[in-house]
Structure 1
Amino acid sequence: MNALLPRIFLRFAGLSLLAVGGAGAVLPEAHRQLVEGEHWFTSSQFAEIFAIAQTAPGPNVIVFPLFGWELAGFAGFCAAALGVLGPSSLLALALARKLRENADSPGLKRLKRALIPLAVGLMAANGAILARAADTNALAAVITFAAAGFVVYSARSPVWAMAAGALLAVAAERLGFL
């Protein structure tokens, strides 16, 4: 058995319990642990794996098993998937039962409202950390800010921003700008 598998499972199990606001909100901590702590990835590799996960259909949580895949193949994929989904799913089930029992509690209603800006702030931190890792040149920074502006200020699908950014990057590569 690969000695790395238990470490992968435990690392992602710990991250899953920090994922207040979803998978995207825990990415800054994942970056800290996987890049700066474990040294399993460089910032650039982290950003590349995240980009692959973001452009794939399905839930954002797929990024964590992809990290496991890069570390230990299919077994690493499974270890990371079980780690990130298992503990948080069990905790969510237990909390959902308690929330249903106390649905009318004023304190609980206040807590739910207070968690919204926390989740948004964590997601904003995620964007900043990934932008620093991915924006290795001026063109990449322009694409990042243009895509963000497009998604925030237009009513169109983010797929258009992804397609335009990809075409611009390919054109820049062929013209020798990258």
Structure 2
Amino acid sequence: MTAAQPDLWALFFHFLTLSLLSIGGAITTAPEMHRYLVGEQHWLSDTQFTASIALAQAAPGPNVLFVAVLGWNVAGLSGALAAMAGIMLPSTTLVLAATRWARNNRDSIGVRAFTAGMAPLTLGLLLSTGWLLAEPFLRAPEHLPTTLVLIAATLVLTLRTQISLVWMVLAGGLLGALGWV
């Protein structure tokens, strides 16, 4: 099989289109990516396509990294940039536009109702994620006291201060790296 010379604009626009269809994440459009990259353009083989996804899924980081690996295997760094820009541009633009619109209309009844309705959902997702991450440490007797202290401290800091959650996550990571958890 002879690989066709990659057209970066075609790669970019195809991934741009897929971004608009990727409800549930970019991985949901993998069959269409395969059809395009392997079947239609012949830029990748079946093995390269599968290995690209497996490699990206095994690596730490966002799930969407497999798009960069696919792009890299098509055309190196420029292919990775074209594919990632294509898959990220529509969703990023939509989020920025929606955020700006919601901020400008924050006093409207619709935005207030949406925000109030999303609060319990967001809280539930955060609690379930926290439980999932804490459960193994709560089951281990040697980690139970420090885990409970960290959970309580995080709860108090979240409710009583304006400290960003990012700093609390970083502090927890530091405490774990130091062996305190």
TM-score (norm. length: structure 2): 0.50
Q: Which has the larger radius of gyration?
A: 2
Asked if 1:71 corresponds to 2:53, the answer is no
Q: Matched residues in 2 for 1:56 and 1:43: separation?
A: 20
Q: Which amino acid aligns with 2:41?
A: E
Which structure is richer in relative contact order (CA contacts within 8 A, separation 6 or more)?
1
Q: 1:96 to 1:18 in 2, by over 3 A?
A: farther
1:12 maps to which of 12, 15, 18: 15
Partner residue of 1:30? 33
Q: 1:18 to 1:93 in 2, by over 3 A?
A: same
Partner residue of 2:93? 90
TM-score (norm. length: structure 1): 0.51
Asked if 1:58 corresponds to 2:26, the answer is no
Q: Matched residues in 2 for 1:8 and 1:99: separation?
A: 33
1:42 maps to which of 38, 45, 48: 45
Partner residue of 1:162? none
Deviating beyond 6 angstroms after TM superposition, the runs of 4 or more aligned structure 1 residues are none
| Percent of residue pairs bearing the same amino acid type | 41
Unpaired segments ≥5 residues, structure 2: 118-134, 137-181
Q: How many residues align?
A: 110
- RMSD over aligned Cα atoms: 2.9
Question: Residues 9-56 of structure 1: CA distance to partner in whole angstroms, max 9, x if unpaired?
Answer: 112111111111112222122222222222222222211100000001
